[in-house]
Amino acid sequence: MGSTLSPVPDATPAPASPTPLAAALDAVGDRWTLLLVEALLDGPRRFGDLQEALGGIAPNVLTQRLRRLEGESLVLAQPYSERPQRYVYEL
């Protein structure tokens, strides 16, 4: 009764280089980021306008998503006030 099981080869293919669609989904794939991009499709918006358009988003989450999109060069943040620092965001 000592039968040995042979290992099953892994059927997962080797990861290929990411396609442009995969890269886009990585950049904007979560719920809030997609809704943020949608809100910016109409043109430039200020933080408060985006927060209102995305009812329910916490300010820290909105800030996080905007910074990430800006870091990936998908969103441009243009200052419109120096004191306090305020920005208008656009795609």
CB 44 within 8 A of CB 87: no
> Which tens digit of pLDDT belongs to each residue from 37-90?
989 999 999 999 999 999 889 999 999 999 999 998 999 999 999 899 999 999
The alpha carbons of the chain give a radius of gyration, in whole angstroms, of 21
Structure tokens, 14: 């080797």
d(CA 25, CA 53): 22
Q: ω into residue 84 within 30 of 0, thus cis?
A: yes
pLDDT at 11 over 90: no
